[in-house]
Amino acid sequence: MAGLIILGFFLIVALAAPLLADSRGLSPVGATGGVLDPPSLDYPMGTDDLGRSVLTLTIWGSRISLMVGFFATALSMVIGAVIGIAAGYYGGWRETAMMRFTDWFLVIPFLPLAIVLASILGRSLFNIILVIGITSWPGTARLVRAQTLSVKERPYVERARALGAGDWHLITRHILPNVFPLIFANTILVVAIAILSETTLSFLGLGDPLRISWGTILEFAFNGGAASRGAWWWLLPPGVAIVLVVLAFTMCGYALDEILNPRLRRR
C-alpha cells in the first residue's frame, strides 16, 4: 500500500508540475538562483550550476521519467503480449519461430544492445522509448506465452471451442481476460525497469539532453562534478525520486503478483 501512496504522490507531482513549479525554471534563461546554491527557503533543494532550482528540475523531470517509463512499457507490453499470445495460442511452427526469436532477444544483454541501438538511432526521447521498448519485451512475451498456454489448455476454452467459438472469440473472450491480470502485474514491474533503464541510458549520455528527466539531471550532476563540489542537493533529489518510484512500482508489482499467484499467499 505504501507503494500505491508513493506512486500516487509522484503521479500527482508529474501531472501538477505546471502548478508546482514554473516551467521557465527549466531553462537557464529563466533561472534565478546562483551557481550551486545550497538548499534555502527560496530553493528548497538548492540550485544546479546554471542557477536552476533542483526542485523545479526534479518536479518536471518526473514527467519525462514517468512518461518514458510508461510509453516504453506500453510498447514492450504490446510487442510482448502480441507475440506471447500469438505464439501460445497458435502453437506449432509459428510458436517455435516466435519463441526462438524471443529467446534470442532474451539472451542479448540489454544495455549493450540499448547502447548500440541508441548510438545508431541518435539521441532523442522517442529513441530512448523505442530502445527500451524493443529491448524489454522478451520477458513479457515468455510470461504471456506460458500463461496463454496454460489458459489455452483450460477446459473452459475447450468448452467454448466445443460450443463452436472461433479463434477471435477465444482470444478476446477467454485468453485475453485471463492473461491480462498477469500482463498488468508484469507491466508494473516493467515500468520500474524502464525508468531505471532511462536513467542508465541518460547517465551514459544517450538521453535527450534537451529534455529534463531524472536521468539527465543525474548525468549533469555526475559530469558537472556535483559530488566533488559537495552539491549533494543536486545528486540526491533525482536519485531518491528514482529509488522511491522504482520501489513503489516494484512493490505494487509484487503485491499484485502475490494477489494473482495464490501459491505465494500465506499458508
Partner 1 sequence: AAQTPSPSGSAAGKLTFTIGDDNDLDSMNPFVAVEAPAFQIFFLTYDFLVNLSQEDLSPSPGLAESWDQSDDGLTWTFQIRDDATWHDGQPVTAHDVEYTYNRILEEEQGSFIDYISLIDTIEVPDDQTVVITTKEPTLQLLTALVFILPEHIWKDISTEEAGTFENNPPVGSGPFKVVEWEKGQFYRMESVPEYWGGAPRIDEFVYRIFNNEDALVQALRAGEVDFADSLNANPFNSLKETTGITTHEANIPSFDEIGFNVGANDTIPDADGHPALLDVRVRQAMAHAVDKQVILDRVLQGYGTIGTTIVPPFSAAYHYEPAEEDLFQFDLEEANRILDEAGYEDTDGDDVREMPDGGEPLRFRYFVRSENNSTVQTSQFVQDWFNQIGIATEVEALDDTTLTDAIFEGKYDMFHWGWFPDPDPDFILSIFTCGQRPPDGIWSDSFYCDEEYDRMYQEQKTVADVAERAQVIFEMQKKVYEDAPYIVLYYDANLQAYRSDRWTGFLNQPEPDGDLLSGYGNYTFVNLRPVTKGAAADEEEGGSAFTWVWVGLVAGPLLLVAVALLIRRRKGEEDRA
Partner 2 sequence: MSATGEGRGDGGPVLEVRDLHVSFSGRQGLGAGLLGRSATTARAVDGVDLEVARGEIVALAGESGCGKTTLARAIMGLVKPASGEIRYAGRPLRHRDLREFRRKVQMVFQDPTGALNPRQTIYESVAEGLRIHKVSGEEDVLVSKALADAGLRPPERFFLLYPHEVSGGQRQRVVIAGALALEPEMIVADEPVSNLDASVRGEILALLLKLRDRFGLSLLIVTHDLGLAWTVADRVAVMYLGRIVEVGPAEDVLTRPLHPYTKALLQVLPEAGGDLSGRSILLGEPPDPTRIPPGCRFHPRCPEVQSGRAAELGMEERNRTEVPLLREIRPAHFVACHLA
Partner 3 sequence: MGARRYLTAKVVQALFTLAFVLVFNFFLFRILPGNPAQILARQRRLPVEAVRELERDFGLKDPLPQQFVNYAGDTLRANFGISFKFRRPVGEVIQGRIWPTVLLVGVATIGSTVIGLLIGIYGAWRRGSGFDMGSLGFSLVTYAMPEFWLGMILLILFASTSGLELFPLGNIRTPGGPASGIAHLLDVGRHLFLPALTLILALLGEYALIMRSSLLDVMGDDYIVTARAKGLREAQVLRRHAVPNALLPTVTLVALNLGFVVSGAITVETVFSWPGLGLLTVEALQAPDYPLLQGLFLLFSVAVIVANLIADLIYGYLDPRVRVA
Q: Are 7 and 252 in contact (CB under 8 A)?
A: yes
**Which has the closest alpha carbon to 250: 69, 76, 16, 106?**
69
Q: Which is nearer to partner 3, 178 or 250 (CB)?
A: 250
Residues in the interface with partner 3 (CB under 8 A) total 43
3-state DSSP call for residue 47? strand
**Amino acid at site 157:** V
For residue 228 the three cell numbers come to: 566533488
Q: How many helices (H) and strands (E) does the chain have?
A: 13, 0
Q: Which is nearer to partner 1, 49 or 257 (CB)?
A: 49
Using the rule CB under 8 A, is 119 a contact of partner 1?
yes
Q: Are 114 and 130 in contact (CB under 8 A)?
A: no
Using the rule CB under 8 A, is 252 a contact of partner 3?
no
Q: Which of residues 174-213 bind partner 3 (CB under 8 A)?
A: 192, 196, 199-200, 203-206
> Which of the stretches 24-32, 64-72, 84-92, 186-194 binds partner 1 when contact is defined by CB under 8 A?
24-32
Using the rule CB under 8 A, is 101 a contact of partner 2?
no
Selection from partner 3, partner 1, partner 2, none that 262 binds (CB < 5 to 8 A by kind) is: none
Single out the residue of 31, 242, 252, 256 in contact with partner 3 (rule: CB under 8 A).
Answer: 242
Write 155-159 long-range contacts (CB < 8 A, 24+): none
Q: What angle do CA 212, 215, 218 make, to 5 degrees?
A: 95
Q: Which of residues 92-151 bind partner 3 (CB under 8 A)?
A: 100, 103-104, 106-113, 115-117, 119-120, 122
As a residue count, the chain comes to: 267
Residues in the interface with partner 1 (CB under 8 A) total 29
Q: Are 107 and 143 in contact (CB under 8 A)?
A: no
Q: Which of residues 77-96 bind partner 2 (CB under 8 A)?
A: 96
Using the rule CB under 8 A, is 210 a contact of partner 1?
yes
Q: List C-alpha distances in Å: 152 to 137, 141, 170, 224.
A: 21, 16, 9, 55
Q: Which is nearer to partner 1, 82 or 236 (CB)?
A: 236
By CB under 8 A, name the binding residues for partner 2. 96, 100, 154-156, 158-165, 169, 173-174, 177-178
